[in-house]
Amino acid sequence: MQTFIAWKERIAGLSARKRYALSFALGLLAVLALPPVHIVPLLVPAFVGLVWLLDAATTRRAAFFTGWWFGWGFFIAGLYWMAYSFLVDAAQFGWMIPFAIPGLAAVAAIYIGLTTLATQWLAPAGLRRVALLPAMWVVFEFLRGILLTGFPWNLMGSVWVFHAPMLQGLALFGAYGLSLVTICAAIAPAALADAQASARARWSMLGAGAALLAIVWIAGAVRLADAPLDTVPGVRLRLIQPDVAQSLKWQPELRAEIMQRLLSISAEPAQGAAPTHIIWPETAVPVFLEYSPNDLAAVGRVTPPGGALITGAPRIRRTGENENDVQLWNSIHVIDAEGRIRANYDKAHLVPFGEYMPLPSWLGRVALAADRTDFSPGPGPTTIAIAGAPPASPLVCYEAIFPAHVTAPWEDGVTRPQWLLNVTNDAWFGISSGPYQHLASARMRAVEEGIPLVRAANNGVSGVYDAFGRVRAEAGLGHRAIVDADLPTAIASATPYARYGNYTLSVVLLIYVVVFPVFPKGRIRATFRKS
**Catalytic sites, residue numbers:** 282, 347, 397
376 and 369 Cβ atoms separated by less than 8 Å:
no
CB atoms within 10 A of CB 166: 23
> In whole angstroms, how far apart are CA 511 and each of 23, 204, 218, 470, 518?
30, 18, 20, 30, 11
| 267: Cβ contacts below 8 Å, ≥ 6 apart | 302
Across 227-335, where does the E strand assignment appear? 231-241, 277-279, 308-318, 326-335
Taking the CA atoms of residue 91, residue 93, residue 98 and residue 104 in that order, the dihedral angle to the nearest 10 degrees is -170
Among left, alpha and beta (phi > 0; psi -120 to 50; other), residue 327 is: beta
In this structure, are residues 468 and 451 in contact, taking their beta carbons and an 8 Å threshold? Answer: no
CB atoms within 10 A of CB 45: 15
Helix axes 43-56, 16-31, angle to 10 degrees: 160
Q: At residue 113, what are phi and psi to the nearest 5 degrees?
A: -60, -40
Distance CA(157)–CA(291), nearest Å, equals 44
Q: Which residue type does 435 have?
A: P
| Rounded CA separation 505/258 (Å) | 45
Per-residue 3-state assignment (H helix, E strand, C coil) for 421-486: EEEECHHHHCCCCHHHHHHHHHHHHHHHHCCCEEEEECCCCEEEECCCCCEEEEECCCCCEEEEEE
